Amino acid sequence: MNRQPLPLAGFRVVDYSHFLAGPYLSRCLAALGADVIKVERPTTGDAGRQHAYFIDGQSGYFLQQNMGKKGLCINLKDPRGLEMMHRLTDAADVFVENYRPGALGKLGLGYEELSARNPGLVYCSVSAYGHTGPDSHRAGFGLIAEAKSGIMAMVGSPGEAPPLLRIALGDMYTGVHGVASVCAALLGRVKSGRGQHIDLALYDCLVSMHEYAVQCYTLSGGREIPVQTGHDLPYSTLYGVFTARDGHIVIAAQVDDAWKRFASLVGGEAFASDARFHSAQGRNDHRLEILPRVRTWVGERTVAQCLAELESADVACAKVQTIADVLADPQIAERRMVIEQEHPLLGKVRLPNLPFRFSECDTTQTVPAPLLGQHNREIAAELGYTGGEIDAMVGDGVLYAEEAVARGAASAVPGSTASR
**Non-local CB neighbours of 16 within 8 Å, separated by 6+ positions:** 39, 85, 95, 96, 97, 99, 104, 109
Question: What Å distances lie between residue 218 and 213, 221, 225, CA to CA?
Answer: 9, 5, 9
DSSP H or E stretch at residue 202:
helix 202-209
The count of other CB atoms within 10 Å of the CB of residue 136 is 16
β-strands 338-343, 122-127 pairing: unpaired
What span, in angstroms and rounded, lies between the C-alpha atoms of 62 and 51? 7
DSSP H or E stretch at residue 317:
strand 316-319
DSSP H or E stretch at residue 250:
strand 247-252
β-partners of residue 139 are: none
SS3 123: strand
Q: What is the CA radius of gyration of the chain?
A: 26
Of 15, 171, 199, 232, the active-site residue reads: 171
β-partners of residue 342 are: 348
- Per the CB < 8 A criterion, the answer to whether 253 and 315 are in contact is yes
Instruction: Tell me if residue 171 is catalytic.
Output: yes
- Per the CB < 8 A criterion, the answer to whether 344 and 360 are in contact is no
**Non-local CB neighbours of 392 within 8 Å, separated by 6+ positions:** none
What span, in angstroms and rounded, lies between the C-alpha atoms of 63 and 268? 52
- Residue 109's closest CA among 10, 12, 14, 11? 14
- Per the CB < 8 A criterion, the answer to whether 405 and 371 are in contact is yes
What span, in angstroms and rounded, lies between the C-alpha atoms of 182 and 358? 19
β-strands 347-352, 338-343 pairing: antiparallel
Report the catalytic residues: 171
